[in-house]
Amino acid sequence: MTASSAADRIAELRAEIDRHNYRYYVLDDPEVPDAEYDRLFRDLQALEHQYPELLDAASPTQRVGGKALDRFAPVRHRVPMLSIRTETDIGPGGARAFDAQVRRELGLGEADPPVEYAGELKFDGLAISLRYEGGRLVQAATRGDGETGEDVTQNARTIRAIPLRLRGAAPEVLEVRGEVYMSRADFERYNARQRAAGSPPLTNPRNGAAGSIRQLDPSVTATRPLSFFAYGVGEIKGWDAPATHAEMVRALVDWGLPVSRERALARGAEGLSAFHQAIAAKRDSLPFDIDGVVYKVNRLDWQRQLGFRTREPRWAVAHKYPAQEELTVVEAIEVQVGRTGAITPVARLKPVFVGGVTVTNATLHNADEIARKDVRVGDTVQVRRAGDVIPEVVGVVLERRPPDARPFAMPKTCPVCGSPIARPEGEAVARCAGGWQCRAQRKEAIRHFASRRALDIEGLGDKVIEQLVERERVRDPADLFSLDAAAVAELERMGAKSASKLIDALERAKSTSLARLLYALGIRGVGESTASTLAEHFGALDALMVAEPSRLQQIPDVGPVAAAAIQAFFSEPLNQKLIARLRAAGVVWSEAAQPRTADRSLAGKTVVLTGGLESLSRDEATARLRALGAKVAGSVSKKTDYVVAGRDAGSKLDKARELGVTVLDEAGLLSVLAGQALSR
Ligand code: IVH
């Protein structure tokens, strides 16, 4: 390749990678799989390595690289970064008060139409200002005191959602104002990795974002999964501003800046209240933390007319939601035993209202975490509950520690079965060695075996399992099938009628599929999707039971750890006996030699089903989609290709629309199953 054709190819690769970043971070609609993106990236790196004279700071390969700093240089904001007034009345009264004040200050009368507002989320991260000159990112600064912030350019460059170059015709100068944040999933994943490595986790996504952007060493920031949303502008030169905030935000999107889709125009106080309520209802299902909503007068001329009062604009207000972190007292620390024997310490709390619910227990994860946070019985702690994540103790208020606060000691033996508790070298989790001997593990295993996605035994709830295991009626899942109606009817809160219903359900559950059975067995590392891949590849249980780890690892989704766990499970004589007893009890599963059909038209596609279907059951739909090669997932993400929305589809459908995922109705699903190709 000549130097000039290398320059062309480099420009082409940069443009293509920038475009994929835009589709991923701004449109939420990636066009190519990660592997393809990685390939382009490596090609570009190789060429740049070969032609170092063609390097450019705005190249997508140049995100990390700066040296660690001694301190951050101060940055004077040319347009100050203001804060927003917080309205304390979170009911409709608060919206009315704000709207009334805006109307009064604009001199509007009763006859004038309602004021239009831009409703946005109030992101819970750290404010940042990004300065683009000639379309290139030249500086990033924190808010600081609003007048002077800190230069965090090197760190901001590591955030892939922040473009290094703007798209299209960019103004001469553009300062973008927005929020650096960490999504809840990224926060959880990062912390899980930290805990597994015995390293300190982040306290909450907000601190995660704020702390990461203020790291002196940009290579540390680069390891933190940060994201960014734009919500406004500072200085602009060389651009005719539009008439409204909404149009200005739209221009940001076109320049390649990520803006949350959860924004809407609202008319008058009623519109504001409706927006507030709509967002409150979906707060838990948003992928990131918010602490409220922000209302902004949409007309920019009116914003200028309203102006500022001290450091707050008169044209914007924040409306908060109940806090997702509160203080309460640890009354006891107990341990729970999970299905695989994992011992989880749990704090019993003085009831506290947080994140919209009353919380009485919070996980403490493991012994290292307790030691690191130094949580003691009697301590006042900060409790966090955000989204559907289980409540968590994030820290101790040491000033409030009573003199008699007791440190926690991990018990040496299982509180349920008395077996030793051991913590394998290098692992964070301690486990009860009791296995099937431990009632807690038995209960959890049976609960899992009977769960909807496993053998789906209707009527076998926690209370029933509890009694069956306590009375030694059921020692393992196979025992379930030898229960008779009379024995079941003896249980508390069980009449003859519900007993016979349960027996019927057990009878029905006996005919199942290999995939469900594999999932039901609760082998470590074998979730629903791996179970169905295994079933598909092996066809028959006997073949899987003798498979070597090397053979298992050839299957997608099965890594060395899962392969070893599968082999260990089936080599265990007790498990072999369990399977023999299930067979003897009449449990049958379809063992089509190869359920794969020739038609793999959905290979590589991920489908999510939501809502009720009329002409087929959800399980049937799942099985048929899988037979065509699709992966059927439980939740909607950027990786989802199709969402099938049946009757009363709920939040998954909303999510699909939000992410721009193709939505099919039942008729669409049927035509796909009938072999009609889909076009995206
Ligand atoms: S606009 C002139 N919009 O809230 C108004 N701020 O008190 C300037 N924030 O830390 C701010 N979400 O980072 C605006 N949609 C949003 C926001 C937002 C979060 C933060 C901002 C700052 C604080 C302002």
Range in 197-201, 203-207, 444-448, 567-571 the model is least confident about: 197-201
DSSP states of 228-240: EEEEEEEEEES--
Q: Degrees (nearest 5) of the Cα angle 436, 438, 444?
A: 80
Instruction: Measure 83 CA to ligand 1 centroid, in angstroms.
Output: 6
Q: Which of 294, 302, 320 to mutate to test the pocket of ligand 1 (most atoms within 8 A of CB)?
A: 294
Q: What is the mean pLDDT of residues 466-483?
A: 94
- Percent of the chain past pLDDT 90, that is, above it, reads 69
Q: Degrees (nearest 5) of the Cα angle 437, 465, 514?
A: 80
Contact indicator for 628, 653 with CB cutoff of 8 Å: no
Q: Which atom of ligand 1 is nearest to the CA of 83?
A: 7
Q: Which atom of ligand 1 is nearest to the CA of 121?
A: 15
Residue 294 confidence (pLDDT): 96
| pLDDT for residue 506 is more than 90 | yes
Instruction: Measure 84 CA to ligand 1 centroid, in angstroms.
Output: 6
Residue 675 confidence (pLDDT): 63
- Percent of the chain past pLDDT 70, that is, above it, reads 98
Q: Take atom 3 of ligand 1 and give the residue whose Cα is closest.
A: 231
Residue 648 confidence (pLDDT): 79
Instruction: Measure 675 CA to ligand 1 centroid, in angstroms.
Output: 50
Length of the chain: 680
CA distances from 469 to 310, 437, 444, 503 (A): 67, 11, 10, 17
3-state SS, residue 339: coil
User: Residue 512's beta-bridge partner residues?
Assistant: 589
| pLDDT for residue 468 is more than 60 | yes
> What sections of 107-213 are H helices per DSSP?
153-157, 184-196, 205-213
Q: Take atom 12 of ligand 1 and give the residue whose Cα is closest.
A: 122
Residue 677 confidence (pLDDT): 56
Please give the positions annotated as active site: 122
Q: Which atom of ligand 1 is nearest to the CA of 232?
A: 1
Residue 618 confidence (pLDDT): 79
Residue 230 confidence (pLDDT): 98
Condensed to tens digits (0 to 9), the pLDDT of residues 304-331 reads 999 998 889 999 999 988 888 999 999 9
Q: Take atom 14 of ligand 1 and give the residue whose Cα is closest.
A: 231
Mean pLDDT of the chain, nearest integer: 91
Q: Take atom 13 of ligand 1 and give the residue whose Cα is closest.
A: 127
User: Residue 588's beta-bridge partner residues?
Assistant: 511
Q: Take atom 6 of ligand 1 and give the residue whose Cα is closest.
A: 122
Condensed to tens digits (0 to 9), the pLDDT of residues 165-191 reads 999 999 999 999 999 999 999 999 999
Distance from C-alpha of 26 to C-alpha of 253, rounded to nearest angstrom:
7
Q: In the structure, what pLDDT confidence band is assigned to residue 596 with cuts at 50, 70 and 90?
A: very low
CA distances from 508 to 254, 283, 503 (A): 56, 39, 9
Instruction: Measure 175 CA to ligand 1 centroid, in angstroms.
Output: 15
Q: Which of 81, 126, 179, 315 to mutate to test the pocket of ligand 1 (most atoms within 8 A of CB)?
A: 179
Contact indicator for 507, 549 with CB cutoff of 8 Å: no
Residue 315 has phi, psi (to 5 degrees) of -100, 5
Distance from C-alpha of 226 to C-alpha of 189, rounded to nearest angstrom:
12
Residue with the larger pLDDT of the pair 380 and 612: 380
Instruction: Measure 48 CA to ligand 1 centroid, in angstroms.
Output: 39
Instruction: Measure 127 CA to ligand 1 centroid, in angstroms.
Output: 7
Q: In the structure, what pLDDT confidence band is assigned to residue 594 with cuts at 50, 70 and 90?
A: very low
Residue 680 confidence (pLDDT): 39
| pLDDT for residue 599 is more than 70 | no
Q: Take atom 2 of ligand 1 and give the residue whose Cα is closest.
A: 82
Contact indicator for 127, 149 with CB cutoff of 8 Å: no
CA distances from 348 to 32, 199, 203, 322, 355 (A): 47, 25, 20, 22, 18
Distance from C-alpha of 298 to C-alpha of 247, rounded to nearest angstrom:
9
| pLDDT for residue 19 is more than 80 | yes
Residue 17, sorted as left (phi over 0), alpha (psi -120 to 50) or beta, turns out to be: alpha
Contact indicator for 325, 394 with CB cutoff of 8 Å: yes
Residue 617 confidence (pLDDT): 77
Distance from C-alpha of 547 to C-alpha of 531, rounded to nearest angstrom:
14
Instruction: Measure 171 CA to ligand 1 centroid, in angstroms.
Output: 23
Residues within 6 Å of ligand 1 by CB: 82-84, 120-123, 127, 179, 231-232, 294, 313, 316
Residue 397 confidence (pLDDT): 93
Half-sphere exposure of 211 (CA within 13 A, CB side): 13
**Structure tokens of 451?**
């769960």
> What sections of 495-572 are H helices per DSSP?
496-509, 514-520, 528-538, 541-545, 549-552, 560-571
Condensed to tens digits (0 to 9), the pLDDT of residues 21-49 reads 999 999 888 888 888 899 999 999 999 99
Q: What is the mean pLDDT of residues 591-610?
A: 70
Distance from C-alpha of 186 to C-alpha of 224, rounded to nearest angstrom:
9
**Structure tokens of 416?**
């349920």
Contact indicator for 500, 485 with CB cutoff of 8 Å: yes
Q: In the structure, what pLDDT confidence band is assigned to residue 679 with cuts at 50, 70 and 90?
A: very low
3-state SS, residue 428: coil
Closest CA to 655 of 604, 592, 611: 611
Q: In the structure, what pLDDT confidence band is assigned to residue 274 with cuts at 50, 70 and 90?
A: very high
| Share of the chain residues as helix, strand and coil, in percent rounded to the nearest 5 | 40, 25, 40
Q: Take atom 9 of ligand 1 and give the residue whose Cα is closest.
A: 122
174-184 exposure pattern, b = at least 16 Cβ within 10 A, e = fewer = bbbbbbbbbbb
Range in 81-90, 111-120, 408-417, 540-549 the model is least confident about: 81-90
| pLDDT for residue 347 is more than 90 | yes
The H or E element spanning position 330 is strand 325-337
Condensed to tens digits (0 to 9), the pLDDT of residues 640-656 reads 999 998 887 878 888 88
Place of tokens 């300190």: 200
| pLDDT for residue 597 is more than 50 | no
Sequence-distant (6+) residues with CB within 8 A of 250 are: none
User: Which one-letter DSSP state was computed for residue 452?
Assistant: T
Q: What is the mean pLDDT of residues 51-77?
A: 91
